[in-house]
Structure 1
Amino acid sequence: MRLIALYRPGSSILHRAPAGLKLAALAIGALVLSLYPHDAVSIPLSLAAVLALYGIGGMPIRVPLLEIWRLRWIIVVLAAALGVFVSPLAAWVGTGRVVTILLLASLLTLTTRMADLVEVLQGILRPFQRWGVDPDAVALTISLTITTIPVIAGFAERVRDASRARDVRLGVRAVVPLLVLALRHADDVGDALAARGLG
């Protein structure tokens, strides 16, 4: 079992940019997207800007579209909940915000080596050592959390494809095989970390 590797090698300006700068840009972008009072027009503009960043990173349009496709059930459930309990506009704006932030996080992992990301997080967390924080463990946990989103989405796609191949509609029961895959993946990652002496 290899550690999660979502990085796509390239020579674009995003690939060459320092990992710390990209992580800061993601944090600022997520904060702006969360706090800015969006309307029906600003959401597609934000999505278009993120798609343009994928182009700058040398990624074909199918890459962000595949990420959206993998997250489609999360998108559908979120949009439906907001649409029913709040309003259609809230569903559009809220779902658009989440999709945009997830696409930004995915772009970070696609253009940044895991080792570089962990190193930056370790540097940020090192001052907190005096309060008992373990920078290595926390940095690795955060980086793995960022990369786990598309992995779990991929598991959901596998479960759906398997049910289609058997002409079976799992419905809510699809949670069971998805949970099994997720737990098995967690065990494999734990074994890989232990083999590298990371505990």
Structure 2
Amino acid sequence: MLTLYRPDARGWHRLPAGPKTLLLLGLVMTVSLLPAAPATAAGAAALCLACYAVPGTGWRELVRQIRALRWLVIIALAGQLIFLGLEPAVVGTVRILAAILLAALLALTTPVAALLDLFERALRPARAIGADPKRISLLLVVALGSVPTLARLAGEVRDAHRARGAGGGIRSSALAFIVLALKHADDLGDALTARGVR
């Protein structure tokens, strides 16, 4: 599974997985629940800059993450422009991007094994209703790992269209991306089944 994790021994990497998850979840909720205003978008952007400025991550990593999410940003902005207008669309897109970037810090600075252990411990009470914490934990970690995979697939589709000089615009690109994403999901399902996860 493709992972975002970048080994280091500074900053966010030094925080235990549990407190770090609660802190980043609180930051994401703050960015998501504050009123949709230009000041909120500016605050969300400043918060991202501050969080990525911590040693062990850095603004170069922030730029890399934004580049990986650029198609999501374009789609989110275009969709909101149609229904909301320029200012609310920009504010909403900045908030969405900030929430994703803050959540990505967890995967960037926490090994997959630590995330699995954390989610499994947190979900133990779910056994009371018949849920399997191990399976749910695996699902959550696989979902985190799928974000960079889908970003990579979107980049491959774009590069392939450029290399062929193909036209067709966003419609043909979106169709190719959907086909690749469904193939990835099918391959991932086969891999999990082969490992006894049903």
TM above 0.5, yes or no, is: yes
Aligned partners of 1:75 and 1:121: how far apart in 2? 29
- State the Cα distance separating 1:193 from its structure 2 match: 3.2
Asked whether 1:35 is paired with 2:33, we answer yes
Aligned partners of 1:48 and 1:61: how far apart in 2? 12
Aligned partners of 1:57 and 1:129: how far apart in 2? 39
Asked whether 1:190 is paired with 2:189, we answer yes
- State the Cα distance separating 1:194 from its structure 2 match: 4.0
Deviations 1:99-120 (A, max 9, x none): 0011012111110111111111
SS in structure 1 of the partner of residue 53 of structure 2: helix
Unaligned runs of 5+ in 1: none
The runs of at least 4 aligned residues of structure 1 exceeding 3 Å deviation read 190-199
Unaligned runs of 5+ in 2: none
Deviations 1:44-68 (A, max 9, x none): 2322221221221422423221221
- 2:2 aligned residue (4, 26, 40): 4
- State the Cα distance separating 1:174 from its structure 2 match: 1.6
Deviations 1:162-186 (A, max 9, x none): 1101111242122232223223322
SS in structure 1 of the partner of residue 165 of structure 2: coil
Determine the structure 2 residue equivalent to 1:150. Answer: 148
- 1:22 aligned residue (7, 14, 20): 20
Whether the aligned pair in 1 keeps the contact of 2:36 and 2:88 (CA below 8 Å) is no
- TM-score, normalization by structure 2: 0.89
- 2:113 aligned residue (112, 115, 127): 115
Aligned-residue identity in percent? 38
SS in structure 2 of the partner of residue 129 of structure 1: helix
Whether the aligned pair in 2 keeps the contact of 1:75 and 1:95 (CA below 8 Å) is yes
Whether the aligned pair in 2 keeps the contact of 1:15 and 1:57 (CA below 8 Å) is no
- 1:77 aligned residue (68, 75, 78): 75
Determine the structure 1 residue equivalent to 2:176. Answer: 177
Of stretches 5-14 and 145-154 in structure 1, the one that deviates more from structure 2 is: 145-154
- State the Cα distance separating 1:146 from its structure 2 match: 2.2
- RMSD, aligned CA: 1.9
- TM-score, normalization by structure 1: 0.89
**How many residues were matched structurally?**
197
- State the Cα distance separating 1:195 from its structure 2 match: 4.7
SS in structure 2 of the partner of residue 41 of structure 1: helix
SS in structure 2 of the partner of residue 27 of structure 1: helix
Aligned partners of 2:194 and 2:20: how far apart in 1? 30
2:172 maps to a residue whose letter is: R
